[in-house]
A and B are shown apart, each in its own frame.
Chain A
Amino acid sequence: LAKTTQPISMDSYEGQEVNITCSHNNIATNDYITWYQQFPSQGPRFIIQGYKTKVTNEVASLFIPADRKSSTLSLPRVSLSDTAVYYCLVGPVSSGGYQKVTFGTGTKLQVIP
């Protein structure tokens, strides 16, 4: 399983765009990259997933370069409610769902008024 490395923490002002990068040098061909958001005392919540290039949904964008050894989660115009821990997860996703997976230690994002 690909090990992931993320910054431990980040600060951002409200209204700014935040980019969180995850390194996964040993990513395998069949691995997907998934990002989760977690608030204190709650379970993680899916944000976005991608395999290559760029993926965008209603809350975030995910940029994956051609070599797939890193990925960047982009949160546009963050608000105070985006203060949370963000996890990058790399692993295979079969037709039914997740098998053995390894979460990184996460990036704690603090949004400042």
Chain B
Amino acid sequence: EAQVTQNPRYLITVTGKKLTVTCSQNMNHEYMSWYRQDPGLGLRQIYYSMNVEVTDKGDVPEGYKVSRKEKRNFPLILESPSPNQTSLYFCASSGLASGKRKETQYFGPGTRLLVL
């Protein structure tokens, strides 16, 4: 089954404690993105990657890092989380290899993060 998986699904942490949210897709997609969703603000793109070792900033990259060492994985790293990073995070992928329409983005189930 074609899917995007994220782990963990829920996370409570404290300010300053480094954390990583993993994202993996099994569709051999070139493109992957991270979004955060906050009430009243909709979805905002954090970072995106056009392929392995190619990443670029979205609209709200401050406080986040990403890496793309393998095509299927795109982890989101919070080096020193702060309470304003409490949010719902989504990973997404899109590309040509799935046999579906290339313009479709597939989203993961989301990771709900609370930073105390």
In the assembled complex, the CB of B55 is this many whole angstroms from the nearest CB of chain A, namely: 11
CA A36 to CA B96, docked complex, whole Å: 19
Interface of B is mostly: strand
Please determine whether A96 and B31 come into contact, CB atoms closer than 8 angstroms.
yes
Per-position contact with B for A73-99: 1 when CB-CB < 8 Å, else 0?
A: 000000000000001000001111111
Please determine whether B103 and A96 come into contact, CB atoms closer than 8 angstroms.
no
Given contacts A32-B103, A93-B102, contact A98 B110 (CB under 8 A): no
CA A111 to CA B25, docked complex, whole Å: 33
Would you call A46 an interface residue if the criterion is a C-beta within 8 Å of the partner chain's C-beta atoms? yes
Please determine whether B59 and A97 come into contact, CB atoms closer than 8 angstroms.
no
| B: interface residue count bin | 35 or more
In the assembled complex, the CB of B50 is this many whole angstroms from the nearest CB of chain A, namely: 7
Interface of A is mostly: loop
Would you call A45 an interface residue if the criterion is a C-beta within 8 Å of the partner chain's C-beta atoms? yes
In the assembled complex, the CB of B33 is this many whole angstroms from the nearest CB of chain A, namely: 7
Minimum-distance CB pairs A-B, first 9: A43-B107, A97-B94, A97-B31, A103-B43, A105-B42, A96-B30, A46-B104, A97-B95, A93-B103
- B interface, CB within 8 angstroms of A: 4, 29-31, 33, 35, 40-45, 48, 50-51, 56, 58-59, 88, 90, 92-96, 101-110
List 6 interface pairs A-B (beta carbons < 8 Å), by A numbering: A36-B105, A43-B4, A87-B42, A97-B102, A98-B33, A102-B59
- A interface, CB within 8 angstroms of B: 32, 34, 36, 41-46, 49, 87, 93-106
